[in-house]
């Protein structure tokens, strides 16, 4: 019997309707379109405005999009993973609520949190369940309502983040398509540079903390930038070397959309042409766990069966890594 690999067989996505443009941000904080565009590549981002709607709202919509496109009966889904840094609530699993709402009533489900690397690490996790031979349909959703933890008076963070969700289905493959290799890393000494200090178990929210805005995301952008540039590129190089791949063998780079300059630096390190670099940061900003599936959704029509795709991500914690995957279908 041939080896079972874990292939992506469908993609879905959802972004909220409200568009927060650089021009609108100019009226909110001391910034301007030229600065944001040249430093980050971002022109606009989507924000989920409706009260009471959390990350699961985005995750459900993305999953439903995938289910409709693929025509799969949700009862056949056996596992739902929601990769997110912004769960609906503490203690209650966002994935459990999402799975029930989409009709995946035979699935078990859990959340996976690794900041901006959540979806990448989720790909590795989903693949292991498929490769075990015990599971046939694993739904991985990357969803984040970043606006729930952003201070819209802090120009260092509010220009970067957006809300959104994307979903992929993993199924067994016997043609050796799907996930081929991965190199995943973390370094906890990085957490001082990107975090929301209050609101977790170390520092539960207090009135004082809220008054100081210490429950919002804080980022030392320069330090995160430096680490992201070097570490994301290092792991992409490692994945290529380990699999004897040259730039000519790579059809696409799908890199976490945190800053266009970070993605460009990674592409330069592996000497990849611009037209092989997936990019949609201009439309959505940094959607944390949703950037990679949103890229796949936007580029799906251009992807061909057998295409070699290198994924790369870097996020808070620090967490980072790279995955090499062979695309499994023509759309």
Q: How far is the CB of 248 from ligand UT7 (least distance, A)?
A: 28
The catalytically annotated residue of 173, 259, 286, 297 is 286
CA–CA distance, 316 with 179 (Å, rounded to integer): 24
The residue among 281 and 328 lying less far from ligand UT7, judged by its C-beta, is 281
Binding site for ligand UT7 (CB under 6 A): 31, 35, 39-40, 116, 155-156, 159-160, 221-222, 224-225, 228, 258-259, 262, 286, 314-315
- Quick count: other Cβ atoms within 10 Å of Cβ 180? 19
Measured from the CB atom, is 119 or 314 closer to ligand UT7? 314
- Residue 113 Cβ vs ligand UT7, minimum distance, rounded to whole Å: 14
Q: In terms of CB distance, is 240 or 255 closer to ligand UT7? A: 255
Q: Smallest gap, in angstroms, from Cβ of residue 14 to ligand UT7?
A: 20
Is 116 considered catalytic here?
A: yes
- Least Å distance, CB 102 to ligand UT7, is 27
Q: Which is nearer to ligand UT7, 31 or 100 (CB)?
A: 31
Give the active site residue among 215, 256, 259, 297: 256
Note if 286 is an active site residue: yes
Active site members: 116, 256, 286
């Amino acid at each position: 019997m041939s080896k079972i690999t874990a292939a992506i067989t469908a993609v879905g996505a959802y972004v909220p309707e409200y568009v927060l443009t650089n021009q609108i941000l100019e009226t909110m904080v001391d910034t301007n379109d030229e600065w944001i565009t040249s430093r980050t590549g971002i022109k606009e981002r989507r924000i989920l405005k409706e009260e009471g709607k959390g990350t699961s709202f985005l995750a459900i919509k993305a999953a439903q999009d995938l289910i409709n496109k693929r025509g799969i009966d949700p009862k056949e889904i056996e596992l739902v993973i929601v990769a997110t840094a912004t769960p609906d609530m503490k203690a209650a699993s966002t994935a459990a609520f999402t799975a029930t709402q989409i009709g995946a009533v035979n699935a078990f489900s859990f959340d996976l949190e690794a900041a901006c690397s959540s979806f990448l690490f989720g790909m590795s996790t989903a693949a292991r369940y498929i490769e075990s031979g015990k599971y046939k349909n694993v739904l991985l959703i990357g969803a984040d309502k970043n606006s729930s933890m952003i201070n819209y008076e802090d120009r260092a963070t509010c220009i970067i983040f957006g809300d959104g969700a994307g979903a992929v289905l993993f199924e067994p493959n016997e043609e050796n398509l799907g996930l081929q290799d991965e190199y995943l890393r973390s370094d906890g000494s990085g957490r001082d540079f990107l975090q929301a200090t209050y609101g977790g178990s170390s520092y539960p929210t207090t009135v004082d903390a809220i008054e100081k805005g210490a429950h919002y995301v804080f980022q030392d952008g320069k330090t995160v930038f430096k680490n992201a540039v070097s570490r994301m590129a290092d792991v992409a190089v490692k994945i290529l070397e380990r699999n004897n791949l040259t730039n000519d063998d790579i059809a696409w780079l799908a890199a976490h959309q945190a800053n266009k300059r970070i993605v460009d630096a990674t592409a330069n390190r592996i000497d990849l042409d611009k037209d092989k670099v997936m990019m949609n940061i201009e439309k959505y900003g940094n959607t944390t766990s949703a950037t990679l599936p949103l890229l796949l959704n936007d580029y799906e029509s251009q992807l061909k069966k057998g295409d070699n795709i290198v994924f790369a991500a870097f996020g808070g914690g620090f967490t980072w890594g790279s995955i090499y995957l062979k695309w499994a279908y023509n759309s």
